[in-house]
Amino acid sequence: MREKTQDLLKKFEHDYRIYVSATDAQTYWIIHARVPKSELGEFPPLQPRKKYISGPDQNGSVLILSDSRSSDTCMVESWGPMETFDDFVKKALSQIMVDKNVADKGVAEGCGTGRV
């Protein structure tokens, strides 16, 4: 992972108080995100950790686990071309913000009900 991408992850965590970790392996990429449920209080409760999984040979397909402890709630989305891990990170951070806004409104999706 490039230093620029590491800085982007740190800035994202600081700016949005969304805790993220990233894994760049040879055949797969993973982003974990832990999103505050709301902006109530100084330390809001956290939602379950979401997991975004893709890889260099996935043609933009991303598996999203709504709770990384359970595979019961998942979806597959197409995020378009992602040639590098850095491309994946940028798109994941954007999607995390979308997911946070959806979660704040109380909308949930189950396995097979996501966008493609």
pLDDT per residue as tens, the chain (116 positions): 788 999 999 999 999 889 999 999 989 999 999 876 655 545 555 556 889 999 999 999 999 988 756 666 788 999 999 999 999 999 999 999 987 887 677 655 555 544 44
Q: pTM of the predicted model, to two decimals?
A: 0.78
End-to-end CA, the chain:
27
Where would I find the H helices in the chain? Answer: 3-16, 85-104
In whole angstroms, what is the distance from residue 23 CA to residue 28 CA?
Answer: 8
